[in-house]
Amino acid sequence: MASSPPHPATPPGDHAGYMSHALQQARLSPPKPTNFRVGAVLLDADTNTILATGYTGELPGNTHAEQCCFMKVAAQHNIPEEEIGSVLPRNTMLYTTMEPCDERLSGNRTCVERILGLDGAIKVVYVGVLEPETFIGQNRGRRKLEDKGVEAMSWVNDGSGLDRVLRHAAGLHSASGPIYPCLAVRLSNT
């Protein structure tokens, strides 16, 4: 698979490092009143190789960060996005700064549907925060992933600057209230 070399600044299993890389991607997303600024990293955990990165609005078509990662892998292999599960390594992990969506106002396929459509290639999704109810109400993305056997690990704000970046992710939505990181699961460095 044509991909990036191993990430030089992030040792294998350094979940904080990969979430930081996803947060860097989120910063690239242009602020708009109609979406959150989200970043994602798709990783081959066996080789510590970043397969793709993405951020909200990076590619044409009202794209989400996770969707951009998948579209890039599809383009690398010249296959439809729906077929990338056949080329992704079996130990692929997804780091995303916000819970994958389970509803899209645009009518586009949701990020949860995209993840579940990958034939089990992604078994773990690291989530920065649950999606606030700003646009669609309650997002059940994390629960839907877990119901189908995909582990959704929550990030713990350990003073690493996540609060600052999450405020940045909210961009123009600060009036809608604070965004609180999930505190359910502490990530290990293994």
Instruction: Provide the token pair at 153.
Output: 């690990």
Annotated catalytic residue 66: yes
CB 38 within 8 A of CB 169: yes
- Active-site option among 58, 66, 99, 131: 66
d(CA 143, CA 146): 5
φ and ψ of 84, to 5 deg:
-70, -20
d(CA 91, CA 40): 16
- Nearest-10 crossing angle of helices 15-28, 65-77: 90
Active site residues: 66
